[in-house]
Structure 1
Amino acid sequence: MTLTPALIRSTHAAIAPDTVRTPLVRAARLSMQLGFDLYLKLENLQHTNAFKARGALAKLLTLDANQRAAGVIACSAGNHAQGVAYHATRLGIPSVIVMPEGTPFNKVKRTGDFGAEVVLHGTGFDESVAFTLDLAERRGLTFIHPFDDPVVAAGQGSVALEMLEQNPDLDVIVVPVGGGGLIAGMATAAKDMKPDIEIVGAQAEYFDAVKAAFDGTSPHTTGTTLAEGIAVRAPSPTNIEIIRNTVDRIDEASEAEIEDAIFDLLSHEKLVAEGAAGAGLAVLKNNAERYAGKQVGLVVCGGNIDSRMLSTLILRGLVRDGRITRLIFKLDDRPGQLAQIAAIIGEAGANVVEVIHQRMMQSVALKQAELEVVIEARDAGHVEQITDTLREAGFALRIGSEAV
């Protein structure tokens, strides 16, 4: 079977009754900042909070009665796993999901909650897939590949059909890229509907195998990435060939840029997005001038980010924005110092979040004390006003690692 526009349309019709037609919304604040109209396709609102449910259901619907009775197996870092588990259980099909060790706990738990038998094996998709294929053969299960299957890619391609139905005036669509199934399906569908539309892929710089194949360069496939959902070392050769013929460009983003983008989606648009979606916004921010005056669609491909990681990311984002800052004082060890500092901070309209006062460390002179005060302010400019006022009052302080 070959991935074609006709297959994508028929697949969309088959899965539409049991998938969410997710909204395409204009990101008002980000559009103002970036200088072009940005539209977000909210696949994080899909049943399993990711687009992968589309392709998983598409494949499950093609199974015969014997295959359904025997069950299915999949190998995934999380989103494909949840999509297969959710729809398999809903259809009465037993499912086994092999997940790499170190997969975020929330993805493991949710996959099990959807009714799948979860097996943890390997350190990544590429190490886990051989084990998965062997287990499938031993137990007589049908293997559902997350991206190297035309039916699965056709299911993912339905995202583009909906986006261009929801806004036919889109000039560009940006798609996060891992194994290539989503962008291959979407590019095939979008170019058929609107041949002059620009399709841009987004990858994490540590896992850029598709970009390397597209550009004819050597891939980077080491390190860890916040965008673990697209951390694929060996993308599908079939998808790469489709990408070469239908995709205009593939850009990459650093880990810091992906982190910033996730924080932007949360703080500006109140959307929880995982790292793969962050890579998409990051490449747009890096090339904003290229899209000036255009209407750009971005697939927010999933929202399954680990809650602990998200909380840390939020705090780091607040620190970068200057909204949370650590002030370190060297004080004479006498009464009233802390009260005076707190009063100045309060009068300036900031909030004291945490206070650490110590005089026992050898780095502090015997008649002095060191005071750390974590404050919440409006922005970096507000922090500068507060520190200026404190210094004018005679306090020696530094911000983070700055010198006194």
Structure 2
Amino acid sequence: MGSFFSGWSKQSPLELVTLPKIKEAKDRIASALPPTPLTLSTGVSELSGREIFFKWDNKFKTGSFKERGATNALLQLAEREQSRGVCAASAGNHAQALSFHARRLGIPCKLVMPVGAPLVKIERTRRNGADVILEGNTLDDAYQYATELARKEGLSFISPFDDAHIINGQGCCGLEIVEQLSAFDSIIVPIGGGGYISGIATALKALKPEIFVLGVQSEWAESGRLGQHQTGKLLAPSTIADGIAVKRTGRLTQPIIDARVDKVVSVSEQLIARAIVSLLEIEHAVVEGAGAAPLAALLAGHLPEKYRRTVVCISGSNIDMNVLQRLMERDMGERGRLLRVKVSVPDRPGSLNATAGILARAGANILEVIHDRTCSELPGNVDIMMVMEVRNPDHSREVVQELQRCGVQSKPY
């Protein structure tokens, strides 16, 4: 590629990322990366009152869309650049994609990841054979370190988003969608650094200029605002949408977003969390925060009402299982499906079993039990903290009433 930042030249961003170049990228990577599925979601369609199609770009080997861009960039390295190796910064998905395909192609690879990157992404990147360096608290910190490392060691730096080869590779998703779905009027795409939406929007606006392109970012990392009105900072130290936790879009991507994306919206952490759980419940799909952000925007009503046939891009599935469990428990609590009570029962054999029997008859599912013999207000009694799954808030009240009817003292905790 010949330059430190691969895919850069004196051409404008709109000249570097074009439909012909995206088509070339599609041909280049076709043998390694077959198209990802696109399916109609009957559940979300009923929920939203529209026809909703999911583009499952989490169905690559490394669990995210990043493989298209990484493969396209690696295949355009000169032989000398391949022998020296590549370097990149990533919150996880670009690192996994680049390391996986670099190993496949026999190219040495160094990846710089933020210290707080999800453990699952760090370990998978290491298993791909990359030299992983943890540096900085944010992707931007890691990015600065990686660029300096690449300069010092003569490595080809491959940006996760600010690289024409990366963007053209990501644009292949737009071509796939047009081939898979003959008629649709809108698409929702997550925005971090902007490479994914820049490529998709370029392809779609060239083929179907009437398509409404909606970009989505986390409210804690508003990187891709139209008109370059960017905060340039992360508003929170962490976000469940770590894949799009970027301070600002790139020098290449922002002009493309301004020209080819119709609207950019922000969604809250709570909405993203709800979307993650909804995808698990409705589609039986494990999706990371960045991948669920487009659904969060849809369910929040950010898509104009006139658009009735919509593609929602699911960009990744690399979420830490501990995080997923916490999100599920929190969502259940917010929807009144978790009941936490402290009961006081006689400290003698059979008391816990009797209490469990009352709860079973009331239809509550016990998830957690904690005994406390030291703090009971009544001598001879034991306090038991219990977490239960219930159907809804009404059922929660019924369970408490049944405990009272059976003479078991209880109170929330």
Length-normalised TM-score, structure 2? 0.90
Matching residue of 2:87: 73
Hey, what's the Cα distance between the residues in 2 that align with 1:360 and 1:144?
59
**Cα displacement (A) at 1:332:** 6.4
Residue 325 of structure 2 is matched in structure 1 by 311
Deviation, 1:102, is: 1.6
- Alignment partner, residue 377 of structure 1: 390
Give deviations 1:120-179, integer Å, cap 9, x for gaps: 111222112222122112222111111111111011111111112111212111000001
Identify the residue that residue 316 of structure 2 maps to in structure 1. Answer: 302
User: What are the residue-to-residue correspondences of 1:168-317 with 2, within 5 Å?
Assistant: 168-211=182-225, 213-214=226-227, 216=229, 218=231, 221-223=234-236, 224-287=238-301, 290-291=304-305, 294-317=308-331
Correspondence list, 1:121-200, <5 A = 121-200=135-214
In the TM superposition, residue 290 of structure 1 has moved relative to its aligned partner by 3.4
Q: Quick check: 1:27–1:38 contact (8 Å CA) kept in 2?
A: yes
1:18-57 mapped onto 2 (5 Å cutoff) = 18-57=32-71
Number of aligned positions between the proteins? 398
**Map of 1:386 onto structure 2:** 399
Question: Structure 1 146/359 Cα, relative in aligned 2: closer, same or farther at 3 Å?
Answer: same
Is the 1:354–1:373 contact (alpha carbons within 8 Å) kept by the matching residues of 2?
Answer: yes
Give the match's secondary structure for 1:200. strand
User: Is 1:85 the counterpart of 2:99 in the alignment?
Assistant: yes
Identify if the C-alpha distance between structure 1 residues 96 and 339 changes in structure 2 by more than 3 Å, giving closer, same or farther.
Answer: closer
Structure 1's 257 and 219: CA in aligned 2 closer, same or farther, altered over 3 A? farther
Q: Give the Cα–Cα distance (whole angstroms) in 2 for the partners of residues 293 and 138 of structure 1.
A: 50
- Name the aligned partner's letter for residue 129 of structure 1: Y
User: Partner of 1:20: helix, strand, or coil?
Assistant: coil
- Rounded Cα–Cα distance in structure 2 between residues aligned with 1:154 and 1:289: 26
Shift of 1:313: 2.0
Find the residue that maps to 1:370 and give its secondary structure.
strand
Paired position in structure 1 for 2:20: 6
Distance 1:132 1:215 in 2: 25
| Mapped partners of 2:125, 2:353: distance in 1 | 51
Give yes or no for contact 1:345–1:386 (8 Å, CA) kept in 2: yes
Identical pairs, percent: 37
CA deviations on 1:249-270 (whole Å, 9 max, x unpaired) are 1111111111111111112111
Separation in structure 2 between the aligned mates of residue 262 and residue 340 of structure 1, nearest angstrom: 37
Distance 2:181 2:412 in 1: 47
Contact map agreement 2:222 2:231 (CA 8 A) in 1:
no
The residue identity in structure 2 corresponding to 1:384 is: R
Compute the TM-score of the two structures, normalised by the length of structure 1: 0.92
Q: Alpha-carbon deviation of 1:312?
A: 2.1
Matched residue type, 1:41: K
Q: In structure 1, which of residues 307, 312, 328 is the aligned counterpart of residue 342 of structure 2?
A: 328
For residues 137 and 327 of structure 1, do their structure 2 counterparts lie closer, same or farther at Cα, with a shift above 3 Å needed?
same
Amino acid at match of 1:39: F
Separation in structure 2 between the aligned mates of residue 37 and residue 391 of structure 1, nearest angstrom: 47
Once the two structures are overlaid, the 10-residue window that deviates more, 317-326 or 188-197, is 317-326
For 2:304, give the aligned amino acid: R
Q: Secondary structure at the match of 1:210?
A: coil
* SS of match in other structure, 2:266: strand
Residues 385-394 or 179-188, more deviating: 385-394
What's 2:411 paired with? 398
Q: Using the alignment, how far apart are the partners of 2:139 and 2:304 within structure 1?
A: 34
3-state SS of paired residue (1:44): coil
Root-mean-square deviation over aligned CA pairs: 2.1
Say whether the 8 Å CA contact 2:56–2:315 is kept in structure 1: yes
Q: CA deviation at 1:214?
A: 3.7
Structure 1: distance between partners of 2:390 and 2:129? 45
Aligned partners of 1:51 and 1:262: how far apart in 2? 17
Residue 356 (structure 1) aligned with residue 356 (structure 2): no
Q: Is the 8 A contact 1:184 1:239 kept in 2?
A: yes
Letter of the 2:396 counterpart: V
Q: 50-59 or 115-124: which moved more?
A: 115-124
Distance 1:94 1:217, change over 3 A: closer
**Structure-2 separation of matches of 1:177 and 1:358:** 48
Question: How many angstroms apart in 2 are the aligned matches of 1:334 and 1:116?
Answer: 58
1:366 has 2:366 as partner: no
Which one of the candidate residues 102, 109, 114 is aligned to 2:128? 114
Q: Which amino acid aligns with 1:191?
A: K
Note if contact 1:359-1:366 (Cα within 8 Å) is conserved in structure 2. Answer: no
Q: After superposing the two structures, state which structure 1 stretch, 290-299 or 95-104, moved more.
A: 290-299
Greater share of helix: 1
Structure 1 residues 71 and 289: alpha-carbon distance in aligned structure 2, compared to 1, 3 A threshold: closer
Quick one: which amino acid aligns to residue 213 of structure 2?
A: I
Which range moves more in the overlay, 316-325 or 32-41?
A: 316-325
Paired residues of 2:214 and 2:303 also in contact (CA < 8 A):
no
| Aligned partner letter, 1:236 | G
- Which structure 1 residue ranges, 5 or more long, are not aligned? none
Letter in 2 for 1:104: P
Worse overlay, 283-292 or 308-317:
283-292
Deviates more, 1:281-290 or 1:79-88: 281-290
Corresponding residue SS for 1:87: helix
Q: What SS is found at the alignment partner of 1:209?
A: coil
Distance 1:293 1:348 in 2: 45
Structure 2 unaligned spans of 5+: 1-10
Q: Is the CA contact 2:277–2:331 (under 8 Å) kept in the aligned structure 1?
A: yes
